[in-house]
Chain A
């Protein structure tokens, strides 16, 4: 499936914050950076499943609220020296609406 699905208004996601999208199978955390970029990651830290949506957003990264692993929002990798990776999803903002591609980015 390659359709863009419509999620919410850009303004529904707080600056430097996130909202959770329940897809029915997995939860996706939708993030908004201070420069209004939008990223979407599976809401499950590769360490012990912490909800990334609750983490602190800084630059293009989020820090997991449970044990402070840092993840790159653009590719879902955990910042060294820790290791790991979560699924990411392509996003775009169209006329103030956030859209998301629920198939894997690549």
Chain B
């Protein structure tokens, strides 16, 4: 019997990043590798960020263990606890630990984290000088607090303050020394820093601000601290929390390229492609991170690459900070300093212990500092990350999401009012939609279950309140949600974007291929994913993809709209709404011939025949076709109608011939499949009788040319368009129109209309791609026209659906069922 040798994967560093990478890997490819982990610390894997609550006496070490020994056993992972790797032999591909153990690898992950910075001052090596990084440090601090009185904490950043708070809670007299005048100055502005200082002082912390430490005093142990201004302070212990430094020494010693951190590419590989690096030891696109959210994102990508999938890439993270001092609500993200081109909205209520500052640049939120009231932190963070245009909601922005009139959720609690893709758990990147879907799908009823299924609230815990609200809303209230963002549907964990990119990068050509490659859970998929995949594949290869009719909703299969009684409506195209006596006569004849009960002018300026029997559909189309009419696609995720007004042909105010423009545009764009329906209108003057400013693409004539508007929606939630630009020629109108449709076709998520698409990607982005980048615009337009050469085939004229299918099966003799 031959045993196939598995590849060997070795991980150096049993911390948060290394083990999370393994978890992600085991989730997607459990049997690919023989895995060995080296950890310098003598424990399983624990949640480092919860050391602060442990120090404060709010949690125990047991509470914060993430993976105990059993986990390693269950997953066949060999863990060498308490063993430090001191050598890597890249030629022989082995790693060795200080005690002589040597293990070979095929692939290696460096996850060595960071080292606390030790100030190079006299006395820094005295017993009693403690850093704040691991369980050992926390044990030392708890020990000291039990029989020592005075502590000095050097550093008023996140770690220093959490250490100081913990020591105060353990009864010590604590003074925090900070070099500048503002606490956490990298996350807070002066106002918020002062508020924080005041409330920490109320809790018994003391501060020496603007003070530089000169030396640590003592002979056999810490006795005090002296400062550059000549003063000094007594102390029994000193906690040094002045910063962290990526732990790159091992990598550097074996020639793996390091700068500030170990340099990695977008798949988390170092300059030696067999060696990956994740977590705080890493430098990616010039950034090093000191928080968990980025490393969780890195872990996903690294695992994807290790599993030989290789379609995920890491593009860097935007981070936010919350301070874990119970009772203090503080949030900070982005760039909060004032400066040129930036505007600030500030709400200060020092008496009420509240402060909010939002920094805006070019109609986007670029920074937020919240103190005392952090309910809306997730929402602001979302606006920031998505670079949403906030000009419309600017006057309400400060008061939070619940105050937005048109979110239409008045009276519902704040969690319920969040959109599905608002990130709730920043640590693990879990969105509201995922949490709600998991609660519903897995019938979860407790916080712990939600943590187990989604990982939300399982790291720093600052989103626990929101998760609990979601749980309450989902199991208590009668309010149903359709998860919009990731994942695409319950058959997969991948998002629309990942699926789409994978189709392109891997050159996948059919629905079964996509499902196989991405390991779909259901072999046939479901009514959500099949139409989406069919669309994505069609958009990717308009020339070669063979449409899968069985993955289309009935309307698109029979080119008519199903009605409540099982009959259909048929709407022929009437270019630009401009009809003729001959066309009207033809429609009238069809209506009479097939006994069609209702003939109605639609809201889209067309004529609809309602109540057509399925078996009559082919004949109805044939007659309309003969009279020169093609399908209006009123059933399709496709171009619907181009609505026009009469314009300069007749109207005394008309500045341009809007009807002809509408007809031309409809002739150019008809047949185009889009992620959701797509509507266009052209008005002849700013009176805008064609209502162009609530269409996906709206054209309004002005004296000097045409205004182009995008992203309008007149449906469930009205959204007026954004002005894209002004152009002067007819040819430009068509080029911009085609380019916009194409970018939406390529980037819109299936069933996402242009309004939410624009809010997702931002108007500035679209202006850049379509207005500023003229080369790119022409390319988009070309791709649009190319795909139109395959799309502009009238489905009614095609005989692709065998007419037999429209006929019911009969029996020779009726039977009584």
A59 within 8 A of B: yes
Q: Is chain B's interface secondary structure helix, strand, loop, or mixed overall?
A: loop
Cα(A12)–Cα(B526), bound, Å: 23
A54 adjacent to B811 (CB under 8 Å) = no
With contact pairs A20-B809, A48-B564, A66-B562 given, residues A14 and B524 touching in the complex (Cβ less than 8 Å): no
Cα(A89)–Cα(B562), bound, Å: 26
B816 adjacent to A24 (CB under 8 Å) = yes
- Chain A residue at minimum C-beta to C-beta distance from B531: A56
Chain A residues within an 8 Å CB radius of B562: 51, 54, 65-66
With contact pairs A12-B804, A55-B554, A63-B527 given, residues A21 and B522 touching in the complex (Cβ less than 8 Å): no
Per-position 1/0 for B780-817, Cβ under 8 A of A? 00000000000000000000000011001111001111
Chain B residues within an 8 Å CB radius of A57: 524, 550
Which listed residue, A1, A23, A55, A58, touches B530 by the CB 8 Å rule?
A58
Cα(A7)–Cα(B564), bound, Å: 28
B566 within 8 A of A: yes
A59 adjacent to B524 (CB under 8 Å) = yes
Per-position 1/0 for A52-88, Cβ under 8 A of B? 0011111100010110100000000000000000000
Which listed residue, A1, A12, A15, touches B809 by the CB 8 Å rule?
A12
B523 within 8 A of A: yes
Cα(A68)–Cα(B553), bound, Å: 11
Per-position 1/0 for A17-51, Cβ under 8 A of B? 10111111111101001100000000000001111
A21 adjacent to B550 (CB under 8 Å) = no
Per-position 1/0 for B257-295, Cβ under 8 A of A? 000000000000000000000000000000000000000
A12 → chain B closest CB, angstroms: 7
B566 adjacent to A19 (CB under 8 Å) = no
Chain B residues within an 8 Å CB radius of A90: none
- Chain A residue at minimum C-beta to C-beta distance from B804: A12
Which listed residue, B523, B530, B810, B817, touches A25 by the CB 8 Å rule?
B817
B116 → chain A closest CB, angstroms: 52
B420 → chain A closest CB, angstroms: 18
Which listed residue, A8, A12, A17, touches B550 by the CB 8 Å rule?
A17
B647 within 8 A of A: no
A65 adjacent to B554 (CB under 8 Å) = yes
A25 adjacent to B816 (CB under 8 Å) = yes
A52 → chain B closest CB, angstroms: 10
B525 within 8 A of A: yes
Which listed residue, A17, A54, A58, A102, touches B527 by the CB 8 Å rule?
A58
A16 within 8 A of B: yes
Report the interface size for chain B: residues with CB under 8 A from the other chain.
26
Chain A residues within an 8 Å CB radius of B554: 54-56, 65
A-B CB contacts (within 8 Å), total count: 91
Chain A residues within an 8 Å CB radius of B523: 34, 59
Which listed residue, A21, A54, A59, A63, touches B808 by the CB 8 Å rule?
A21
A90 → chain B closest CB, angstroms: 12
Chain A residues within an 8 Å CB radius of B550: 14-17, 56-57
Cα(A26)–Cα(B558), bound, Å: 23
Cα(A25)–Cα(B524), bound, Å: 33
B805 adjacent to A14 (CB under 8 Å) = yes
A100 → chain B closest CB, angstroms: 10
B805 adjacent to A102 (CB under 8 Å) = no
B355 → chain A closest CB, angstroms: 45
Cα(A30)–Cα(B809), bound, Å: 10
Cα(A7)–Cα(B811), bound, Å: 7
B556 → chain A closest CB, angstroms: 11
B808 adjacent to A19 (CB under 8 Å) = yes
Chain A residues within an 8 Å CB radius of B805: 14, 17, 19
A27 adjacent to B808 (CB under 8 Å) = yes
Chain A residues within an 8 Å CB radius of B816: 1, 23-25, 102
B224 → chain A closest CB, angstroms: 68
B815 → chain A closest CB, angstroms: 5
Cα(A19)–Cα(B805), bound, Å: 7
Cα(A26)–Cα(B809), bound, Å: 12
A22 adjacent to B524 (CB under 8 Å) = no
With contact pairs A16-B550, A17-B550, A56-B553 given, residues A23 and B817 touching in the complex (Cβ less than 8 Å): yes
Cα(A2)–Cα(B562), bound, Å: 35
With contact pairs A21-B808, A51-B566, A66-B562 given, residues A16 and B524 touching in the complex (Cβ less than 8 Å): yes
Report the interface size for chain A: residues with CB under 8 A from the other chain.
39
Chain B residues within an 8 Å CB radius of A51: 562, 566
A56 adjacent to B530 (CB under 8 Å) = yes
A28 adjacent to B817 (CB under 8 Å) = yes
Chain A residues within an 8 Å CB radius of B524: 16, 33-34, 57-59
B809 adjacent to A5 (CB under 8 Å) = no
Chain A residues within an 8 Å CB radius of B551: 56
Per-position 1/0 for B531-553, Cβ under 8 A of A? 00000000000000000001101
Chain B residues within an 8 Å CB radius of A33: 524
- Chain A residue at minimum C-beta to C-beta distance from B566: A51
B515 → chain A closest CB, angstroms: 11
Chain A residues within an 8 Å CB radius of B530: 56, 58
A62 → chain B closest CB, angstroms: 9
A106 → chain B closest CB, angstroms: 15
A22 adjacent to B566 (CB under 8 Å) = no
A81 → chain B closest CB, angstroms: 9
A22 → chain B closest CB, angstroms: 5
Chain B residues within an 8 Å CB radius of A27: 808
A51 → chain B closest CB, angstroms: 4
Cα(A30)–Cα(B565), bound, Å: 19
Cα(A30)–Cα(B524), bound, Å: 18
A20 adjacent to B808 (CB under 8 Å) = yes
Per-position 1/0 for B500-540, Cβ under 8 A of A? 00000000000000000000001111110010000000000
B745 → chain A closest CB, angstroms: 23
Chain B residues within an 8 Å CB radius of A55: 554
- Chain B residue at minimum C-beta to C-beta distance from A19: B809
Chain A residues within an 8 Å CB radius of B565: 49
Which residues in window 550-593 of B have CB below 8 A to A?
A: 550-551, 553-554, 558, 562, 564-566
Chain B residues within an 8 Å CB radius of A63: 526-527
Chain B residues within an 8 Å CB radius of A65: 553-554, 562
Cα(A94)–Cα(B816), bound, Å: 23
A24 adjacent to B809 (CB under 8 Å) = no
A21 adjacent to B809 (CB under 8 Å) = yes
A98 → chain B closest CB, angstroms: 9
B808 adjacent to A23 (CB under 8 Å) = no
Cα(A59)–Cα(B177), bound, Å: 66
Chain A residues within an 8 Å CB radius of B809: 7-8, 12, 19-22, 30
A58 adjacent to B815 (CB under 8 Å) = no
Cα(A49)–Cα(B565), bound, Å: 8
A21 adjacent to B811 (CB under 8 Å) = yes
Cα(A20)–Cα(B554), bound, Å: 14
B815 adjacent to A5 (CB under 8 Å) = yes
- Chain A residue at minimum C-beta to C-beta distance from B551: A56
A25 adjacent to B564 (CB under 8 Å) = no
Chain B residues within an 8 Å CB radius of A21: 808-811
- Chain B residue at minimum C-beta to C-beta distance from A48: B564
Which residues in window 700-717 of B have CB below 8 A to A?
A: none
Cα(A54)–Cα(B617), bound, Å: 14
A77 → chain B closest CB, angstroms: 18
A49 → chain B closest CB, angstroms: 8
B811 adjacent to A22 (CB under 8 Å) = yes
Q: List, sorted by A's number, 26 A–B pairs whose CB atoms are closer than 8 Å.
A: A5-B811, A8-B809, A14-B805, A17-B805, A19-B808, A20-B809, A21-B808, A21-B809, A22-B809, A23-B811, A23-B814, A34-B524, A48-B564, A51-B562, A54-B554, A54-B558, A54-B562, A56-B530, A58-B524, A58-B525, A58-B527, A58-B530, A59-B523, A66-B562, A68-B527, A102-B817
> 7 other contacts beyond A7-B809, A24-B815, A58-B522, with CB at 8 A cut-off?
A5-B811, A8-B809, A55-B554, A57-B550, A58-B524, A65-B553, A66-B562
Q: B residues within 8 Å of A by Cβ?
A: 522-527, 530, 550-551, 553-554, 558, 562, 564-566, 804-805, 808-811, 814-817
Give 7 nearest A-B pairs by CB, closest first. A24-B814, A54-B554, A16-B550, A58-B524, A20-B808, A51-B566, A56-B527
